Amino acid sequence: MSSESSPKPSLNLVPFVSVENMMETILDIGIGEMLTGIARYIEQDFTRWESFDKTPRVAAHSTRGVIELMPTSDGAEYAFKYVNGHPKNMREGLQTVTAFGVLADVDTGYPLLISEMTLLTALRTAAMSAVAAKYLAPEGAETMAIIGNGAQAEFQALAFRTLLGIDRLRLYDIDPAATEKCARNLAGQGFEITTCDSAEAAVEGAQILTTVTADKQYATILTDNMVGSGVHINAIGGDCPGKTELHRDILLRSDIFVEYPPQTRIEGEIQQLAADHPVTELWQVIAGQAEGRRNARQVTLFDSVGFAIEDFSALRYLRDQLARTGRYEMLDMIADPDDPRDLFGMVLRAEVKR
């Protein structure tokens, strides 16, 4: 995982991956390989979870949505992501979620990489879901229901196919056009796809239930009677205070796995439960310190809200691909005076050159 061959900042120049660069990177490497690579970096970073600085994301809420900063560091490198969540944007032709991120060197404080993270977050969220399902989903699972067929749905489907071999999809969205879009985009990708006219129909025969809706509200996407024994629920749509997707009764009979409890108790499905309701941290399962799925009848729930270490992993992965792809440009980001104490003199010298 060495970054020795990756481009280094040259004084004031920092590698920048634009949206166009990111799309070309995905096409160059292949989405399956990228999902696999990001998943591998996530698993490696989760096994050293205790070496990271951790804090719930810093959020600024409004009636329109939320803007958040997600920082973390392993002592050698530091990363943060700026991300928003504005469900009403879609009605205005705007993205519900947009993001960018920075990876920096702790010793100098200099940025090592600046990147768009709208696409990269979709990739890392899907990779994270598949990593969790690797430890929690029932053995031999073949069918996944995806309820909510918006911007995340295709990435989720491809991650589960690539990492777990899921090749049967049951799709439902309250907007039939979203389901049609999702089915169209996934045509020819190796799936057997069934479009459904209700959430109840979508979950029939599915061993994995993925909920990924956008509305910022308490909602009941899955009711208790819809969830049979032995299924794995991948709940990734509830990600802020006041937004949930599952009926509380489902939580009470599930074994719940989370990323970072102090954040999930504020933003996840478990905001519906008492503050001391038992949950298992997923990193402990990945590191072999806790059990994941124990038996065929167990209902497992990955109550995912996204955490900064996952973004750290994704940014590290991307940084380590730059020399391979060349899909970046160098930004003039850092002031570089001849004498570090003479910042004003740099301005004066620039005036002479005008």
Buried b (16+ CB within 10 A) or exposed e, 259-275: bbbebbbebbbbbbbee
Q: Which two tokens stand for residue 195?
A: 């479009």
Distance CA 286, CA 282 (A): 6
Spatial contact of 308 and 316, defined as CB atoms under 8 Å apart: no
Distance CA 79, CA 114 (A): 10
Distance CA 128, CA 159 (A): 9
CB atoms within 10 A of CB 63: 6
Q: Which two tokens stand for residue 212?
A: 């990924």
Distance CA 68, CA 206 (A): 34
Integer distance in angstroms from the first to the last C-alpha of the chain? 45
Residue 17's DSSP bridge partners are 115
Q: Which two tokens stand for residue 222?
A: 């899955």
Distance CA 335, CA 337 (A): 6
Distance CA 211, CA 147 (A): 5
Q: Which two tokens stand for residue 207?
A: 């061993």
244 Cβ partners below 8 Å, 6+ apart? 218, 219, 238, 268, 269, 271, 272
Catalytic residue among 45, 173, 239, 303: 239
Q: Is 239 a catalytic residue?
A: yes
**CA distances from residue 152 to 124, 126, 236, 292, 321 in whole angstroms, order as listed:** 11, 8, 10, 25, 23
Spatial contact of 69 and 82, defined as CB atoms under 8 Å apart: yes
User: What is the length of the chain?
Assistant: 354
Point out the residues that are catalytic: 239
